[in-house]
Structure 1
Amino acid sequence: MRTSKTKLSKSIRFIIAASAAASVVSVSPVFAQEVNDDDNSFEKIAVVGSRAAPRSIADSPVPIDIIGADELSKSGNTDMLEILKGTVPSLNVHSNPISDAASLVRPANLRGLPADSTLILLNGKRRHRSSVIAFLGGGINDGAQGPDISVIPSIAIKQVEVLRDGAAAQYGSDAIAGVMNFVLKDDSDGGTLSVRRGEYYEGDGASTEVSGNIGMPLTQDGFANVSFQYKNADATSRSVQRPDAAAFAVAGLDVANPAQIWGSPEVNDDITIFGNVGLDLGNDKEFYMFGNYSERDVRGGFYYRNPNTRGGVYGGNIRDVEGVATRQPADLDKDVITSEEAAYNAATPTILVGSLEGFDQQLDCPIVEIGSNGLPNQTALDSLTAANCFAFNQSIPGGFTPNFGGNITDTSLTIGTKGEFKDGFADGVLYDLSGTVGRSESQYVIYNTVNASLGPNTPRDFRPGKYIQLEKNFNFDLVKLVDAGLYEDVNVAGGLEWHEESYEIVAGDVASYTAGPLTTQGFGIGSNGFPGFKPNDAGVSTRRNYAAYVDMEAQVTEALLLGGALRFEDYDTFGSTTNYKISAQFHLTDELSIRSSISSGFRAPTVGQANVSNVQTNLDGGVLVDSALLAPTNPISVQLGGTELQPEESDSYTLGGVYQDGDFFMTVDYYHIEVSDRLSQSDKINLTAEDKDALRAIEPNIDSFQQVSFFTNDFDTTTQGIDVVANYSADLLDGSSTFSLAYNWNDTEVTKFSEITGAFKVKRLEEDLPNHRATFTWSQSWEDISMFTRANYYGEYQGVHVDYDATAITASSAVTVDFEVSYMFSDSITISVGAQNVFDQEAERVQQTAGLDAEGLPKNNWGGVYYETSPMGFNGGLYYISANYNF
């Protein structure tokens, strides 16, 4: 700090400098200044990027976005991910219909990297991961396991700080793309109550949210700030009827229209509570505590089960020499068949699945012919009961569509104390000692499906089990200003961190995983679509690591700022890693400066990624198949190229400039990030007969798995881009105006990969996200009325449907506009109306023609209207109204 110009008391200096993530003063890159309730302008302070005393953004060596509470409230969407997507152009968030657990906790991508390459902090402390691993993550997020940002309500947040720079040397694993810090409100009085109602132009997806915040004194020297949010949201559907389902309806079967839903899931009883407590203990010491409890129920769509293509449910479809399609029903008196029939089934084109070993009895059931209209012969079906035989055509003749969902619970608690040592060798040293525990639980539920091996006795709803992520963190941080004879005292920081991470798999209900009596007749085991976790899958895997770091920042001259950080981290699994960061800022003039940083980084594989196993349903070549995700050290994974997971390693650098003149502010930053040994889920590898033989001893249902995948360090990437941020404030139109422009160009190239990753996944990594994103915002306020409008530009991107390369196209660029107007009836009551995507700009439409393309591959037969990779979402325009009461 320039002591000749600024005088801060030790207590204020301690509050800022001893923060866990330390601080740097910054004017918001989105709005240069905002006005508080007393109409006094103020500059915002961030607690990411530096452990030194606060500095203005003109003196910041790293790029930081700061989104204040006022801007967070100006969004038609209450989801924190959607709010940030509209504010930070380098952040992309996709809707994920029919994507297993990725539909329950959506991943986000900063600078084109996966969700778990961005470190999330809450009040400067590391946030725990979600228990949900995005097994079907749309290429970029395949296998990503990041924190669940959606549980954080905007009403609880004072500001969000987005550090757009690698910071693993300062904060540890995951900070390859950058860091997001959510700062909770800390008011000791006043509060807000808000009610919001919104609905899409299509007439669905209606959502209602009630939220509130209250600040209370905690004795005379502290505060207790509590926020809550409760909301419900209906599902959306952007679907048309599948051609096969339509044909069954024409033939007279009762089939839902549409049979398969592409849309946002239904969210029920989404409740979240955040608390933030601080207490001055006197003598420059402070106690703090914050945490949350969040829970919600989510239910979304799944793939339609066609009765003529799901042999593991409806029996083996075979075609005799005369061209008549037939089906072999289940014999309820026998659970095995003759070896001759097993050999016949193995040699005949069939979709009959399941183990064929040990069959030594004859099935005494009539063969059911399938007519040209796709329906089984009704006379043959009617004869099954008398013969004590069974086919699911009797009870579910038109096929079925499971619904996949779950109960997501998220809790955390951080307790700490910080202050200043007053005597001894540590005199003048600021300290921060804290402990954090975070827990995420996802209890899965699948409705309207069957365990086919149980035959007519199967339940229709199942609880396949749960995942639990538990993390514990202890931090001890020290900061001291040292007089080294430079322009300012050198800020020296150091600290220790201990971290424990565990991942637990809890078995599902028995019916969800059991191998029923029809297993030996080729009927699939477990709840179809998401088989339950077996008892031998259940258990807890744990990993511990510790870290030590040192961080220095020096104002060498009035114009030159230098910073450096070094961090050593040791894991009890794969070993240790050491990372560094060097940053600099040089003022060419009072208005213009240049800045740069260079750093190394890493991302440790999560315990879940190293140990989880799972069965997914996905499309392969246009056909619905079951795919088993196995641990990378599983024998079959090893046979296919799997190895023990290692951390990703990164090298990055940035170069940029800052210009500030009066009310005009602008930053331009170039970034370059090289990541080696990228960690992701492998491509789905088709199993050979030899693979299945090797796996059958430990997986009796192996014949129902057509594919296997596993986590692997298989490819390298280079990501580069440019961020431009500019804003200008002025008095216009008899009011106050603020204009803001934010632009991002981002390009990712996969520089090394093998067939384990696969060419199509490489294409998704490189092309799914738009290379160009921009937002232009105009905020206008008068005495009683305020207005906010934002134009969002999305460049060309790769449109992909059902993760199938035959559907991929280059989708067009698009512009959407958001608008909100607010009227202040009094100092306490404000009514706002607005719309997101006010002109209802459509996402790119999927080709709807059924049949085969020029290469003989299926065209779109799955009923989606829009490509799910649309960066602006696919639900269209949304209008809303909200009322706020301030007290």
Structure 2
Amino acid sequence: MKLQRCKLRSAIKFAISTTAAITTIASFNALADAREDGAQKDIEKIAVVGSRAAPRSVGESPVPIDIIGGDELSKAGGDDMLELLKGSVPSLNVHANPISDAASLVRPANLRGLPADSTLILLNGKRRHRSSVIAFLGGGINDGAQGPDISVIPSIALKQVEVLRDGAAAQYGSDAIAGVLNFVLKDASEGGSFSVKQGEYYEGDGDTTTIEGNIGLPFTDQGFANLSFQYKEADPTSRSVQRPDAQRFIDANVEGVRNPAQIWGAPEIKDDITLFGNVGLELSNSSEFYMFGNYSERDVKGGFYYRNPQTRPQVYSNDGGATLLVGDLDGLDNGITCPTVNLRDSDGNQIYNVATIAAYQQIAADTELGRNCFAFNEILPGGFTPNFGGNITDTSLTIGTKGEFTDGFLEGGFYDLSGSVGRNESRYFITNTVNASLGAETPMEFSPGKYIQLEKNFNFDVSKGFDFGLAYEVNVATGLEWHEETFEVIAGDEASFIAGPLTQQGFGIGSNGFPGFQPSAAGEFTRRNYAAYVDIETPFTDDFLMGWALRFEDYDSFGSTTNFKIMGQYQLTDDLSVRGSVSTGFRAPTVGQANVSNVQTNLSSGVLVDSALLPPTNPVSEILGGTELQPEESESYTLGFVYQTGDLFLTIDYYNIQVEDRLSQSDKINLTPEQKEALKADGVPNVDSIAQVSFFTNDFDTTTQGVDVVANYSMDLLGGFATFSMAYNWNETTVDKFSAITGDFKVKRLENDLPQHRATYTWSQQWEEFSGFIRYNYFGEYQGVHVDYDATAIMADPTFTFDAELTYYATENISLTVGANNIFDQDAEEVIDFYEGTNTEKTAKNTWGGVYYETSPFGINGGYYYVKATYTF
């Protein structure tokens, strides 16, 4: 055993001893697809994640990791990396997020029930920059989350993905509370592939075309250049019914009402282009150069809430639809008094077609009075539904050198020196909407501005093995890191934020639905931090290994933090071992969370209102309980078993993560008139149309616990080779402490939105000319929520879906694939609406037009089928 381990370490130690290398062996999540004639059935997968020592065999990992091969990722219907990972890692959840502002453009993902920015993302072992998108409407769990944009990474560029399911902030710094995802790029110097995939949903929409390719090239005789691209376009989907209020306007012969007026579904994606490159060059026998990076850009366009032409505040009515909001265009009265347009008859019944009301006819007439008086029904009689979207651009570049010390005290040790820069820009646009304060002169398209996230990292890491007379060398790693993070706000076009001439008459300011960023809110906000760490692994015996990590980090904003991690594994028998870890961690507030201001439209008790997000140190935020943000602090521990005998591999791991002072967006707090005046004095835009305020806060504590079970078994079957894989996750989050700033409903969302039980069971089969798989996906009970509104919430029943795929190898180079996700078209839980004043009586009426609860863990779009052709060379 000892001799085998030493041989393994000597052969690959140089390759994996890198700066952000996280080295641990992992569990199989599924066997990579391999042709029978060249495949080895017994392959151990090695991860570069978890520690900074040399790798160990599958059964010797002290912390749990899933390894998903690049071929495995390509065996699925979708092309969004989030969806691909969700199908392979049960503890990872992703929601569709329709009508969720920028969260629809860059969807957040949740590992182990924690927000998107509680999982550290690495690319080739290096920290990945954040997205510029902050999920202002993040569905409770992700409210205010600002994590990296994982969706830009195409599966064709990847050698494998390593999912460390353990807290690792003591090793890698902020964000690694839930775990780490390390995306490893392909590094072949020859060969490649090209594929075209076409798919659509069973409903006949969401048509998606994906073209992708990869090529490995020699970079002189001592290096490689591996290049990948992906181009994708996807049509939108709609899982909507007509809103009853919109239907009443249609029945009353009101013009301009769309059917459906409001869309719940996947957004439209256009010109989604991604380029990835990975370059390596051997400089000498003891050193090498590396460089990798990407350029990605896409346009995303989604829906918003329908603006009712009689009730929408600050546009059509300011008294709930009792009277029409009418503007005096010269503002002087001029002896001409605009008539009051009552929208209810003498019996109190609503009059849905205002064109039949005599007072409105005076306003719409081409007379002196009509030219002086204005209502938006004249230009938008059927109301309107804004279309919100953005252009997302993501770029990164990492350059470094690594190698072996050839003399001195560190002779035989390894070093890694690198620098990286990452930039993500989200340029927003909103169409089919108005700046109501401009009256009839308003444009219908606006550019509300940009957010830009820029990050720079420098790392220097050293590792060396020392002989202390233990089972084998004690690995000691240490390093320094410097990080700078800048969040920039660029103002929108003037029409998107200007207060027009009708402002004082009660008309709303700025582009309705997403007002532009004012010049006063624009600017750059920067923070720097540095860190030092030490990481030691001590093999006390052949059967007993322990690891120790300590990290000090200092931020120029809130100060310093020190965290530790202890992990170990003991081999009880040849087949069975026990492993575990104890660690502390932290998550620093992002610069964007500490400084951003924004106005968003959301539902409050079923009514659309505008809400302002303010910095926590804004005077109004402070009045409501806001304070300067501090880092989250966490304590976590795991305990698990690994059993391996013959072709059976099984791991069971319990985890417990306690997080204090969790960072999130507060509940939306209703403003008093006095607070509105304070907002105006502080220069906050669009105050007259703002009904609520929220801010980022450290307000609540949580405990998340769960169990991961991973099992694999392989055998000869049906004249071929079969692999059976099972992955199960139980996850439970409890909010231990909170205040009114967080609110009861958000606590319910944190505790119940995600299913506590998730599992996948996969049968993969390989033959000479065919391969395929069938996957069963189980989703336990979860809270169904519609429009982020408490009265709609229910506990949805457990359910399951099936995925299947079959590939035919037509020639040595050409393969043809057909497959489907959710092959039996399992519907998500249908929305139930309640009559006012009751919690039990169901009605067919659907107030907001959605068919399914958007918290469905497998989406709302139903079955999806696809075909794919691949040329490999």
Alpha-carbon displacement from aligned partner over 1:213-248 (angstroms, at most 9, x marks no partner): 000000000000000000000000000000100000
Aligned residues: 858
AA at the equivalent of 2:59: A
- 1:426 aligned counterpart, secondary structure: coil
Paired with 1:850 and 1:399, the residues of 2 have a C-alpha distance of 25
Amino acid in structure 2 at the alignment position of 1:881: V
Name the SS for the 1:312 alignment partner.
coil
Shift of residue 673, structure 1, vs aligned partner: 0.4
Which stretch has the larger CA shift, 532-541 or 853-862?
A: 853-862
Residue from 799, 806, 813 that aligns with 2:784: 799
- Provide the TM-score with structure 1 as the length reference: 0.94
Select the residue among 353, 358, 363 that pairs with 1:375. 353
Per the TM alignment, residue 33 of structure 1 is displaced from its structure 2 partner at its CA by 9.6
8 Å CA contact 2:27–2:710 kept in 1: the answer is no
Tell me the distance in 1 between the aligned counterparts of 2:33 and 2:360: 74
**Letter of the 1:260 counterpart:** Q
- For 1:293, which of 292, 295, 315 is the aligned residue? 295
Name the residue aligned to 1:688: 672
Work out whether residues 660 and 700 of structure 2, in 8 Å CA contact, stay in contact via their aligned partners in 1. Answer: yes
The 5 A counterparts of 1:383-782 are 383-384=362-363, 385-386=366-367, 387=369, 388-697=372-681, 698-699=683-684, 701-782=686-767
Deviation at 1:426, TM superposition (A): 2.7
State the 1:554 CA deviation. Answer: 1.5
Secondary structure of the structure 2 residue equivalent to 1:72: helix
* 1:861 and 2:861 are equivalent in the alignment: no
Counterpart residue type for residue 225 of structure 1: N
CA shift in 2, pair 1:725/1:34, >3 Å: farther
The answer on whether the counterparts of 2:36 and 2:767 sit within 8 Å (CA) in structure 1 is: no
State the match for 1:56 in structure 2: 57
Q: Which amino acid aligns with 1:749?
A: T
Deviations 1:663-719 (A, max 9, x none): 000000000000000000000101112211222212363221111000000000000
- Deviation track 1:172-231 (CA, whole Å, cap 9, x = no partner) reads 000000000000000100010010000000000010000000000000000000000000
Query: For each residue in 1:237-291, what CA deviation from the matched residue of structure 2 results, as whole angstroms up to 9, or x when unmatched?
Result: 0000001000000000121010000001000000000000000111310000000
- Residue 148 of structure 2 aligns to which amino acid in structure 1? P
Query: After alignment, is 489-498 or 859-868 more displaced?
Result: 859-868
Match of 1:30 in 2: 30
Query: Could you tell me how far 1:38 is from its partner in structure 2?
Result: 2.6
Report the Cα distance in structure 2 between the residues aligned to 1:839 and 1:857, rounded to whole angstroms: 27
Kindly indicate whether the alpha-carbon contact (under 8 Å) linking 1:30 and 1:725 is maintained by their aligned counterparts in 2: no
CA distance in 1, matches of 2:804, 2:842: 43
Distance 1:488 1:12 in 2: 15
In structure 1, the partner of 2:282 is 280
RMSD: 1.8
Q: How much does 1:424 deviate?
A: 2.2
Q: CA deviation at 1:4?
A: 6.3
Instruction: Determine the structure 1 residue equivalent to 2:138.
Output: 137
3-state secondary structure, aligned to 2:324: strand
Secondary structure at 1:83's aligned position in 2? helix
TM-superposed deviation, 1:50 = 1.0
What is the Cα deviation at residue 826 of structure 1?
0.8
Question: Deviation at 1:547?
Answer: 0.2
Q: Give 2:388's aligned amino acid.
A: F
List per-residue Cα deviations over 1:63-110 (Å, max 9, x = no partner): 000001121111011111001101000000000000000000000000
* Residue type of the alignment partner of 1:831: L
Q: Name 2:347's counterpart in structure 1.
A: none
Partner of 1:393: helix, strand, or coil? helix
Change (3 A) 1:847 1:554: same
1:303 to 302, 305, 329: 305
Contact 2:310 2:324 survives alignment (8 Å): no
Aligned equivalents of 2:127, 2:336: Cα separation in 1: 60
Q: Which moved more, 1:66-75 or 1:673-682?
A: 66-75
* Paired residues of 1:315 and 1:391 also in contact (CA < 8 A): no
Contact 1:198–1:208 (Cα < 8 Å) also in 2: yes
**Distance in 2 between residues matched to 1:108 and 1:869, nearest whole Å:** 13
* Matched residue type, 1:286: E
In 2, distance between residues paired with 1:59 and 1:93? 31
Match of 1:261 in 2: 263
Is the partner of 1:273 in helix, strand or coil? strand
Distance in 2, matches of 1:509 and 1:499, equals 33
Partners of 1:850 and 1:307 lie apart in 2 by: 23
Per-residue CA deviations over 1:769-823 (Å, capped at 9, x if unaligned) read: 0010000000001100111110000000000000000000010110100000010
Identical residues among aligned pairs (%):
69
Partner of 1:331 in structure 2?
328
1:813 maps onto 2:798 in alignment: yes
Match of 2:227 in 1: 226
**Residue among 790, 793, 808 paired with 2:775:** 790
5+ unaligned residues in a row in structure 1: which ranges?
320-324, 338-360
Secondary structure in structure 1 of the residue aligned to 2:520: coil
Match of 2:13 in 1: 13
TM-aligned CA distance change 1:720 to 1:5, over 3 Å: closer
CA gap of 1:6–1:427, structure 2 versus 1, over 3 A, is: closer
Distance in 1 separating the partners of 2:286 and 2:22: 17
8 Å contact from structure 2 (residues 118, 177) kept in 1 = yes
Structure 1 counterpart of 2:258, which letter?
A: A
Deviations 1:414-463 (A, max 9, x none): 00000111112332221000001000000000010000011111000000
C-alpha separation in 2, matches of 1:680 and 1:542: 20
Equivalent-residue separation in structure 2 for 1:206 and 1:73 (angstroms):
19
Within 1, Cα distance between the matches of 2:456 and 2:8?
35
1:851 Cα deviation (Å)?
6.0
> Which residue identity lines up with residue 327 of structure 1 in the other structure?
L
The C-alpha deviation readout for 1:316-352, integer Å capped at 9, x for no partner, is 4488xxxxx43341111117x8xxxxxxxxxxxxxxx
